Chains A and B, each alone.
Chain A
Amino acid sequence: MNYGYYSSAALVTSVVVYLLAFFAHAAEWATARQVPVADEAVERELVTAGAPSTGTTAPRGASAAAGADEGLADRRIEQFSRIGVTLTVAGFLLSLFGVVCRGLAAGRGPWGNMFEFTTTAMVFVVAAYLLMVWRAGLRWLGLPVTLLATVANGLAVTVFYVAVAPLVPALHSVWFLIHITAASISAAAFNVGGLLSILYIVKKRAEDRGRVSGYLARIPSSRRIDLITYRFHAFAFPLWTFTVAAGAIWAEYAWGRYWGWDPKETWALVTWVIYACYLHARSTAGWRGTKAAVIAIVGLASFWFNFIGVNLLVSGLHSYAGV
């Protein structure tokens, strides 16, 4: 059985499916623009957001006296949202299948180069998102998550793609499993956290101007988004610390020094320090809120630079990009 072929086919298809999911969520947002926001509706959204709701918005239209139009729009928003999530699940299954096949084709963990790492990390990103949809009603995150998944998997199958190959001797280690799995899971959490930070800033601006309308009125309050953002980062930060430490241990085995200021190591530390700033900023007067969110976004940018920029622009010991 040609695992490599099925892997590529599934991953390319997942890009298309994610793109369709993105369109569905875009339609969801666009439809919400046409619905005038009653204060009462906003109020109720804030209340339900606090409870572990299933994310359903259906009952709102039913009670509203505003008329059939609004109820219809609400139903359409709900419909688009469901289509988006269903497509995302399909895309997720495809990319999971693709990544597993890739691992079977290579006979090892499928994260030996940029293509493999990106697709694996995206499986974790979408898994985290779907888990949150299921457990905490984070369906409103669909638009940015599907956009990220489309772009990242799209880049992976076009620009980063390399055929299946064994690993160089430096990667023959149990730490290949530990270090990179931890890196990709924290990547997923940082990415979702970054998307949430962007949403937070958008929502906060709208709130400060007193003009919360359209889809923004249907997502939780900025305070609540901030809390969810924090939880993602609070999960990712210790894991990232562990990732860097595991990398250091591996470096001691592979290169005989646990820290050597290799560009990848340096940027991992820079990323770590920026996220440390984020956590400190959240408990410092005058830095909470938008400023902290901006720091989180800078942290994500640093993470991406460490992945893409350092792999492609800078030469160092971590030159396994294979592009």
Chain B
Amino acid sequence: MTDTQTRPAGESYQREDPRPERAGPDLPRLGLRGTLRFLWAQLTSMRTALVLLFALAVAAIPGSLVPQRKISPIRVDDFLEQHPTLGPIYDHVGLFSVYSSPWFSAVYLLLFVSLVGCIVPRVNVYAKALRAQPPRTPRHLGRLPAYARTELVADGPAGAGTADDVLDRAVTELRRRRYRVRVVEDATGRSVAAERGYLREAGNLVFHVSLLFLLLGVAVGALWGYRGSSVVIVGQGFSNSVTQYDDLTAGGWFKASSLEPFNVVVKDFQVRFEYGPVQTGAARLFKADVAVTDAPGEPTESKVLEVNHPLHIDGSTVHLIGHGYAPVVTVKDGKGDVAFSGPVVFLPQDGNFTSAGVIKVPDARPQRIALQGFFLPSTVVNANGAPASAFPDALNPELFVNVWAGPPAPETGKAENVYTLDTTGMTQVKGDDGAPLRVALKPKQGVTLPDGMGTVQLDGWSRWVKLQVGDSPGAPVALGAIAFAVAGLCLSLFVRPRRVWVRVGGRTPEEDGDTGPRVIEVGGLDRADARGGLTDDVDELADTLAGRSSDEKVTT
């Protein structure tokens, strides 16, 4: 970024406005253009960029400490519940959605504006510098940071050379070292000026421009991308249409019609957990065998879906991001009819897959029934005498539910949450002892409900997987941008721009006329302090030009 020293405000005012209008004696006034120029200079200055970078770092922090709506909405709700005064204040200032909040957006947008404001003039400067010749030779090479002065070896391979021969050799030698070389003619005679390391600034510019493309890639993804998830019970399938998603977030310019009509059937899902003493219960394997149909009517392909190995179907990706248990339950109503039969998705609540869920049986007669409770894959009785799950795998599965019943309710057609129970119009069924009835079932066990309501049987259990389907259209742009950014960064940090000058002086005066050896002067200047070795290189060049091999070094 440009290291602009902000100009005194009055200066631009005087240049912009020719009329010598008398204002306050010490308070120069800015016209509108002057003010804008001043603000622009401020915004694109390196100091402002530094402050904005700091602001970005600081602004990003709260999002990692306060739960975020987009990442963990449940924890946001918990937070709001636990902090009745602080919560709403946090909510108001956007602390639950930091990364889309106005203040966070303001910081990064200002940063990118500042970035543009610094890239544009620098590209111009660089374009000129690319065509420019190396600067002329300074009068006193000895004042440069690196300086070597040596005498041309009289009898060496280059001994007979004239000054021009030495300079020609310098040109060849420097070109070989990839310098841009110019032969300078001035009052002090001929000399050679050379410069290299133009790629440093190029890398710098590439890096900063890449950041703009990165932002572009992210923006494209945010506008056209979509991501949704769907819970699919093993044995069932998923078709890619909006209605099949449990949740779907999409960019503003995303069209539901652009969803590719593929279909995924989960044929089998294998999961393995750690049984050993170390990290007991940690997941070791998730593997789903799926059948994929690209579009209705097309042939079906068998594929394996694993974590880290998503499916790519027609530009969308399908990830396996979760799994859980679905107890298979059959409910017969008071008339002896099967009112419900099948697997019901229960949601895991902890690492040992204590799973909570609701089995709704609206069609049971004479009363509709609902069962609410937990499915424990590895049931043990804990210290409090309450059942708990001790392991994530299904070693000792058991279903614990409370029973609700009520008069049949008319179909409203309204969508309702399948994981929560609205008990309006229902009462909790009591047992013989008057306490709420608790039903505990192992697979293949059944129980008869009181008052002739019917029977409940746990037929078994099944697993479900959570599939995430999405498309991030800007990702290739972002990836390319970051690749260029890293490459540019390396150039801008590791290329060392360097200037070298070579001058051949007259013969050193000796008593018998000008027969002494010629003096070669080499001066060097590093324009960035990234690397060392300037002195060595300058010495080595001087020795080479003098026709001396590098091992017989001359101290200068």
| Interface of A toward B, CB cutoff 8 Å | 162-166, 168-170, 172-173, 227, 230-231, 234-235, 237-238, 241-242, 245, 248-250, 252-263, 266-267, 269-270, 273-274, 276-277, 279-281, 283-287, 302, 310, 314, 316, 322
Contacts and interface: CB of A to CB of B under 8 A. Distances in A.
Interface of chain A, main secondary structure: helix
B252 to A, nearest CB: 18
A169 B530 contact: no
B472 A252 contact: yes
Given A162-B278, A238-B489, A256 B475 contact: no
Nearest to B491: A238
Interface stretch (B43-51, B126-134, B403-411): B43-51
Contact of B278 (A164, A168, A238, A284): A164
A99 to B, nearest CB: 18
Contact of A277 (B57, B98, B282): B57
B285 interface: yes
Contacts of A238: 486, 489-490, 493
B256 interface: no
15 contacts: A169-B283, A169-B286, A169-B307, A170-B308, A238-B489, A258-B478, A261-B70, A261-B71, A266-B60, A273-B56, A274-B53, A277-B54, A277-B57, A280-B1, A286-B47
A166 B284 contact: yes
A242 B486 contact: yes
Given A164-B278, A248-B482, A280-B53, A253 B308 contact: yes
A263 B64 contact: yes
A163 B530 contact: no
A173 B493 CA distance: 31
Which interface residue of B1, B479, B485, B532 has the most chain A CB atoms within 10 A? B532
Interface in B476-490: 478-479, 482-483, 485-486, 489-490
A173 B309 CA distance: 9
B274 interface: yes
A281 B53 CA distance: 11
Contact of B475 (A255, A258, A310, A314): A258
Given A165-B278, A168-B283, 14 more contacts: A169-B283, A172-B308, A227-B532, A230-B529, A231-B530, A235-B493, A241-B486, A256-B227, A257-B227, A257-B472, A263-B64, A274-B53, A277-B54, A284-B50
A261 B99 contact: yes
A266 B470 contact: no
Which interface residue of B61, B282, B308, B486 has the most chain A CB atoms within 10 A? B308
B219 to A, nearest CB: 13
A242 B218 CA distance: 17
B65 interface: yes
Given A163-B278, A168-B282, A231-B530, A310 B64 contact: yes
A172 B307 contact: yes
Nearest to B483: A245
Interface in B41-97: 46-47, 49-50, 53-54, 56-57, 60-61, 63-65, 68, 70-71
B282 A165 contact: yes
A283 B3 contact: yes
Interface string B1-39: 101010000000000000000000000000000000000
Contacts of B354: none
Give the interface residue-count category, chain B.
Answer: 35 or more
Interface in B247-296: 274, 276-279, 282-286
Contact of B50 (A260, A261, A277): A277
Contacts of B472: 252, 257-258
B317 A256 contact: yes
B548 interface: no
Given A242-B486, A254-B307, A280-B53, A314 B64 contact: yes
B276 A165 contact: yes
Contacts of B3: 283-285
A169 B274 CA distance: 11
Contact of B53 (A163, A248, A276, A314): A276
Given A162-B279, A238-B493, A242-B486, A284 B47 contact: yes
B99 to A, nearest CB: 5
A242 B424 CA distance: 56
A310 B530 CA distance: 33
B278 A169 contact: no
A260 B494 CA distance: 32
B531 to A, nearest CB: 8
A319 B265 CA distance: 31
B486 A259 contact: no
B307 A270 contact: no
A252 B1 contact: no
Contacts of B64: 261, 263, 266-267, 310, 314, 316
Given A169-B285, A241-B489, A256-B470, A266 B61 contact: yes
B237 interface: no
B144 interface: no
B494 A234 contact: yes
Interface in B518-538: 529-532
What are the 9 tightest A-B residue pairs by CB atom distance, in nearest-first order?
A256-B319, A263-B64, A266-B64, A165-B278, A273-B57, A234-B493, A169-B307, A163-B278, A238-B489
